[in-house]
Amino acid sequence: MSRGYIVPIGGAEDKLRDPAILRRFLEICGGTDARIVIIPTASRLEDTGPRYVELFQEFGATHVVSLPFVERSDCAREDWLEELKTATGVYITGGNQLRLSTTIGGTAVADLLRHRNNHEGLHVGGTSAGASIMSEHMIAYGDEGSTPRSDMVSLAPGFGLTHEFIVDQHFQQRDRLGRLLAALAFNPRPIGIGLDEDTAAFLSPEDCMEVVGSGAITVVDPSNMEFSSMDSARRHDPVSVIGIRLHVLTEGCTFDVRSREATHPAATPST
DSSP 8-state code for residue 121: -
CA 217 to chain centre: 12
Task: Report the relative pairing of strands 123-127 and 89-92 from DSSP bridges.
Answer: parallel
58 is catalytic: no
- Cβ atoms of 30 and 142 closer than 8 Å: no
128 is catalytic: yes
> Among residues 13, 83, 197, 210, which one is catalytic?
197
> Among residues 66, 128, 135, 204, which one is catalytic?
128
Q: What are phi and psi of 194, to 5 degrees?
A: -105, 115
Amino acid (1-letter code) at residue 19: P
- Cβ atoms of 205 and 2 closer than 8 Å: yes
Amino acid (1-letter code) at residue 36: I
- Measured CA distances, 126 to 62, 107, 129, 242 (Å): 20, 19, 7, 32
Query: Of the candidates 182, 189, 172, which has an alpha carbon nearest to the alpha carbon of residue 229?
Result: 182
> Among residues 13, 170, 204, 228, which one is catalytic?
170
The CA distance from 81 to 59, in Å, is: 25
Query: Of the candidates 22, 6, 24, which has an alpha carbon nearest to the alpha carbon of residue 158?
Result: 6
The CA distance from 46 to 64, in Å, is: 17
170 is catalytic: yes
- Cβ atoms of 250 and 208 closer than 8 Å: no
Sheet holding 165-168, edge to edge: 165-168, 191-195, 217-221, 245-249
| Residues annotated as part of the active site | 128, 170, 197
